[in-house]
Amino acid sequence: MANENVNIEENGGERTDGSGLLRRLGLFDATMIVMGGIIGSGIFMNPYVVAQQVHSPFLILGAWVIGGSIALAGAFVYAELAERRPHTGGQYAYLRDAYHPSIAFIYGWSLLLVIQTGGMAAVAITFGRYFIELTHINVSDWLIAAIALALLTIVNCLGVRTGSTVQNVLMTLKIAAIVMLVTLGFALANPSGAKTATVLDRPVSLDLLTAMGAALVPVMFAYGGWQTSCFVAGELRDPQRDLPRGLLIGVLGVILLYLSVNFVCVYVLGVEGLMQTKTPVSEVMRIALGETGAKIIAVGIAISTLGFLSQGMLTAPRVYFAMADDGLFFRRVAWLHPKTLVPVTAIVLQGVWAMVIALSGKYEQILNYVVSVDFIFFGLTATCVFIFRRRDKSETKFKIPLHPFTTIFFIAGCFFVVANTIYKYPENSAIGLAIMVIGIPTFYLWKGKK
């Protein structure tokens, strides 16, 4: 058993987590939330970005294997943390309990202003582009992005069950789109005539290391998101059982899907073809089924991006709710709607700010400053395991396999990605880091005001 029991209260026949949130979600919901938080637009767009950094099939697929290994190690870490601290807010609660409320506040501050809303804005812009390509309407992609964010904000204000149902449907359609892509790509498209015999595209050197590091930036952006499932721990019926299982099943499923997509892209397009197209999966489907195939996968990508936005709108507002519930944010953000019992103000706040970022930034710029800040907190959160194990003597049902080696591998992977992102994209990274640092005086000003 974990060291702390989950507080349970009854509410009209349904259990709550003690803060008023209803426990309505199960293992299937948790797994779909994990996968939905990872699979967005990245897997459909980023294979070409990876191929531009490393130029052999071995290195391209190797980057996705390394990224998947880091993600799986992260899932192990978060599975144990989820059992030890099955509380609303997930990562926020881990940092608060292991270190100090100031560290948790800076994370929540960065999540709202950079990490979550920035990622959602980037994906919403992608949705807008594909929607315009499919419908041929004469509007800006930022306008479609803002409308999509507004609609999903409204859906998630209707209740956690409504938001989760929409998320589950969209996630199922995502999986179907990826399976269709892989199946048709292998069955109907001829393999590329251009073969790359070399395993490495350059001698083993610092240049190869930095190139692989640059390739890992879009890979890790595509793999990121499993941690957001921990935000809704307070709304799972049995978080200590279902959240660790959902994390492991979900991440393993995503690794399988991602490797399949990249393998079919390299198989059909070859390395050169993959480097030269910004829409690799569309090109694969165009080769397999002509323009009809390209349109079909465009619909799949649009659904996938919408599903990612739906997941973000469902999960992350629980962090701002937990911050406000701790007295570290506007008290109004902790308000629950009397009928739906969801943090409406927190959901609206996130939706509005994501719209602002979508109007002001470009996809590539947003991606770089999101990754640099996000992986700082990934690595820092993983260190909480060492603190909780030393402080809490009670046993847990789930333990990280091969700890501490697995945990250290994940932490090292996170900070390698951070260092390489700052080295390669210093200006964009500086934006995210500056916003994060501003959170330090903001916490003390807030605390003093309180």
Q: Say what the pLDDT of residue 385 is.
A: 93
Helix or strand holding residue 284 (H, E): helix 280-289
Confidence of residue 362 (pLDDT cuts 50, 70, 90): low
Mean pLDDT of 291-296: 87
Contact present, 380 and 344 (Cβ < 8 Å): no
Domain presence at residue 10: no
Domain presence at residue 9: no
Q: How far apart are CA 389 and CA 392, in angstroms?
A: 5
Q: Are strands 9-11 and 14-16 parallel, antiparallel or unpaired?
A: antiparallel
Domain presence at residue 3: no
Helix or strand holding residue 210 (H, E): helix 206-223
The CA-based angle 118-341-147, given to 5 degrees, is 35
- Helices in 85-205 by DSSP H: which ranges? 91-98, 101-110, 116-135, 141-157, 160-188
Helix or strand holding residue 294 (H, E): helix 291-315
Q: For residue 283, what are its two tokens?
A: 């090109």
> pLDDT tens digit string along 119-176?
888 888 888 888 887 888 888 888 898 899 998 888 878 776 676 677 778 888 888 8
Amino acid at 330: F
Closest by CA position to 303, among listed 122, 50, 44, 29: 44
Q: What's the whole-number average pLDDT of the chain? A: 82
Q: Say what the pLDDT of residue 435 is.
A: 87
Domain presence at residue 364: yes
pTM: 0.80
Question: Which residues span the domain enclosing 40?
Answer: 25-449
Domain presence at residue 14: no
CATH value at residue 56? 1.20.1740.10
Q: Say what the pLDDT of residue 3 is.
A: 38
Q: For residue 8, what are its two tokens?
A: 């349970």
Between 315 and 438, the more confident residue is 438
> pLDDT tens digit string along 243-267?
888 888 989 999 999 999 999 999 9
Q: How far apart are CA 177 and CA 293, in angstroms?
A: 11
Per-residue burial over 312-350, b if 16 or more Cβ lie within 10 Å, else e, is bbbbbbbbbbbbbbbebbeeebbebeeebbbbbbbbbbb
Domain presence at residue 36: yes
Domain presence at residue 17: no
Count structural domains, the chain.
1
Domain presence at residue 427: yes
